[in-house]
Amino acid sequence: MWTKWRYKLINIELAKKQKLTTQEIEGLKLLYEELSSIFLKAEQATEKELMILSMQLEELEYKLQEAWKFEKNPNKHSYWYKIPQCTCPKLDNADLWGTGTRIFNPQCMVHKHLFTHISNKRH
Ligand SMILES: [Zn+2]
């Protein structure tokens, strides 16, 4: 079962480093609520619903980067393979963070729809 509180805890040290205001931190909390809600829905979702949730998750990762005052960079997304029911390799993708390469499991319920579009990215 996905534990809802996990991403509700904001990294305060990082927030200080990024000079976020109290209001900006509140905004971040809302985004993490949204993240929890996507993950919670994904636990029970069908393949079609998972496709939609994975796209919402990508959008949310951009919003999070913006809220943290980082550059919007799809290479630095870190939640896409953590979504429930995703069977893409976790450690490999964690290692590849920032490189722009993603390793997919062709059988992954969440990401197999991507293969029709970016089959050249398969490793
Ligand atoms: Zn996947």
Q: What is the mean pLDDT of residues 5-16?
A: 75
For residue 110, the CA-to-ligand 1 centroid distance in Å is: 5
Span from the CA of 121 to the centroid of ligand 1 (angstroms): 14
- Run of H or E including 43: helix 22-44
Give the C-alpha separation, 15 to 78, whole Å. 18
Which of 70, 88, 4 lies closest to 38 in space, CA to CA?
4
pLDDT-above-90 percentage for the chain = 80
Distance between CA atoms of 40 and 100, rounded to whole angstroms?
A: 27
- Top-confidence residue, 36 or 123: 36
* Count of structural domains within the chain: 1
Q: Which amino acid is at 72?
A: K
Please say if the pLDDT value at position 106 is more than 70: yes
Please report the pLDDT score of residue 5 as a whole number: 47
Which tens digit of pLDDT belongs to each residue from 14-40?
Answer: 999 999 999 999 999 999 999 999 999
For residue 45, the enclosing domain spans: 2-119
Reported as type and span, the H/E element at residue 53 is helix 47-67
Q: How far does residue 27's CA lie from ligand 1's centre (Å)?
A: 28
Q: Measure 111 CA to ligand 1 centroid, in angstroms.
A: 4
Q: What is the pLDDT of residues 46-87, one digit of tens each?
A: 999 999 999 999 999 999 999 999 999 999 999 999 999 999
On the question of pLDDT at 1 being above 50, the answer is no
Polymer length in residues for the chain: 123
Those residues whose C-beta lies under 8 Å from the C-beta of residue 49, and which sit 6 or more positions away, are 41
